[in-house]
Structure 1
């Protein structure tokens, strides 16, 4: 055998092994899947769909006919558009990082306490806690022993 036919044979063998593995996985998963629909079930579903929907050529979409309610759990078209518009108003696409980022950064939450209240709270905290330099954290003071 020459070198070119060996490459072709190896390529064909690799494709066959890959396809065999893929087919083995799909056939093994098939029994777990639901039973396929019969032709009669498909016809009934199609007829039901055509009763409730109409095709719009201008937009190439199926639209629910007037007088019919969408299935439970499906948001109305107006609600979805409003959610989309709100999202686009509040976010922008960052090409550099390939993520959506807020247009306005979220401001930090500020305390509603006055300066006097903050001072009093700090004084109360420092009476019951102390800073540990080794652990770099605040620790509760041990209870004072009474004589």
Structure 2
């Protein structure tokens, strides 16, 4: 009689998967493909923790006070000023799912209600992405609201 022995099959699959995972890990410390070793990763982590702290409120890593951002990294103030300038001049139209110019343009975002600021900021973050090379916000067609 040919019967499938499910417990034996499950045990064989479990053994095969653990053997494959064990062979995929390198025990010599030198990783194939030029990947960082454990020691390198630990050193990079220590360096990162010297300059950054975890912000519980925003749930992101922030630069510690008095630490300059690395060369080539755009300061947060630039991100915010460009975003706020765009939001000061435009508002999100839910009916058309497009940005429309504000008429008249308010002098500052503080002239808008808190709900308007939050709604427009949320729509902006969904429809735009930061271009690292160009150093500016660009419209991201894949994120456009439908």
TM category, shorter: 0.3 to 0.5
Normalising by structure 1, we get a TM-score of 0.42
Q: TM-score, normalised by structure 2?
A: 0.42
